[in-house]
């Protein structure tokens, strides 16, 4: 499972001209599921994300989690995070999980995260327009396979 995490001041998802999800202060998580991912990958990644200390404390140091900072999380499914650009100029998405594998893992990831922080979500497989005001900017890449 791969995630691109961005600290945000505001973010939203629009589908067919309607805002379907939005947050103010918090994190935007673009989440990609690979065909070899497991429930353990979803649990590890969700735990790391909600515990990650990337919000400033009173001294201006990144020392608070999204929960500590009173923020929320917007999660958007994004199979393109598993793009392979090794050959040619057109990315291959062969490593991205098919919906029958990806959706249950995406949902499990959301359930684990929702136990800790308020969560908004995009719509799996929809053509989404994601708006984001990146705060910092702070952007972090995580991969459950590499455990980093």
24: which residues sit within 8 A by CB, 6+ positions away? 9, 10, 72
Q: Which of 6, 55, 78, 109 is catalytic?
A: 78
Q: Which of 55, 79, 109, 120 is catalytic?
A: 79
Q: Which of 9, 51, 80, 139 is catalytic?
A: 80
139 is catalytic: no
78 is catalytic: yes
85 is catalytic: no
Please report the DSSP string for 87-117 in residue order. Answer: SSSS-B-TTBPPHHHHHHHHHHHHHHHHTTS
Kindly state the DSSP code that residue 70 receives in the 8-state scheme: T
**Residues with catalytic annotation?**
78-80
């Amino acid at each position: 499972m791969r995630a691109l995490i961005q600290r945000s001041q505001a973010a939203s998802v629009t589908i067919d001209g309607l805002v379907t999800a939005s947050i103010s202060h918090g994190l935007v998580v673009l989440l990609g599921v690979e065909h070899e991912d497991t429930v353990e990958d979803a649990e590890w990644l969700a735990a790391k994300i909600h515990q990650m200390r990337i919000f400033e404390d009173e001294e201006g140091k990144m020392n608070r989690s999204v929960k500590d900072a009173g923020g929320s999380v917007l999660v958007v499914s994004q199979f393109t995070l598993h793009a392979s650009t090794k050959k040619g100029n057109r990315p291959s998405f062969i490593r991205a999980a098919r919906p029958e594998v990806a959706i249950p893992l995406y949902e499990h990831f959301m359930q684990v995260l929702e136990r800790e922080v308020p969560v908004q979500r995009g719509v799996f497989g929809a053509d989404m327009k994601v708006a984001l005001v990146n705060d910092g900017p702070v952007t972090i890449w995580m991969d459950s396979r590499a455990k980093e």
